[in-house]
Amino acid sequence: MLVSRLLALLDTSAALAEQLPARANREPTPAGRTPLEIAYHVPQVVVGLLDAALGGRLAREHLERRPPEHIATGADVAQLTRSVTQALAVWWGANRLRLPAEVDTYAGRRPLLQLLEHTTTHVARHVRQLQLLLEQRGVSPRPSLHPALLVDLPLPSDPWAGVALP
């Protein structure tokens, strides 16, 4: 089930964010963002999904947000990510039997299932990047990204390649 996978990916993202070395949080990456910005982006992707699923809209602004000044460390991002994880779990528990067929996105109306798959893939892509960034800095990620979480997701082979909303 995609939501279970997404929740597990968010848990992994939070754990990896906590392990980001402070000195690396402001270094640029091949993605054009710092490690801290990538970690912060993960929960923002899910906030966009939740906003759309609750009758709002997934806007480009969700995906372009940068960490505010009070989000300065990986631990700060991990706390935010865990909060979004909880919100996703609550939303799913309360609504899984009465989901909207379609949601509004910056790319037009899309089936909710398509947006959920895209969100899961998008999050997986960035969690994979966070793990790679930790490994490149000599940190053994704990826990590491479980390969089963990536099975059948349409991920590009290049971990730095983008994933566009269809």
Q: What is the pLDDT of residues 132-146, one digit of tens each?
A: 999 999 999 999 999
Instruction: List all residues 6 or more positions away from 15 whose beta carbon is below 8 Å from its beta carbon.
Output: 78, 141, 142, 143
The residue-averaged pLDDT of 29-43 equals 95
Category of 138 on φ-ψ map: left (φ > 0), alpha (ψ -120 to 50) or beta: left
d(CA 35, CA 31): 9
Q: How confident is the model at residue 1 (pLDDT cuts 50, 70, 90)?
A: confident
Domains in the chain (CATH in brackets) are 2-150 (1.20.120.450)
By DSSP bridging, strand 57-58 and strand 102-105 are parallel
Spatial strand order of the sheet with 102-105 comes to 57-58, 102-105, 108-111
pLDDT of residue 25: 84
Average pLDDT, the chain: 94
Tokens 């754990």 -> residue: 15
Instruction: List all residues 6 or more positions away from 37 whose beta carbon is below 8 Å from its beta carbon.
Output: 66, 67
Residue-wise pLDDT for 93-141, tens only, equals 999 999 999 999 999 999 999 999 999 999 999 999 999 999 999 999 9
Query: Is residue 163's pLDDT more than 70?
Result: no
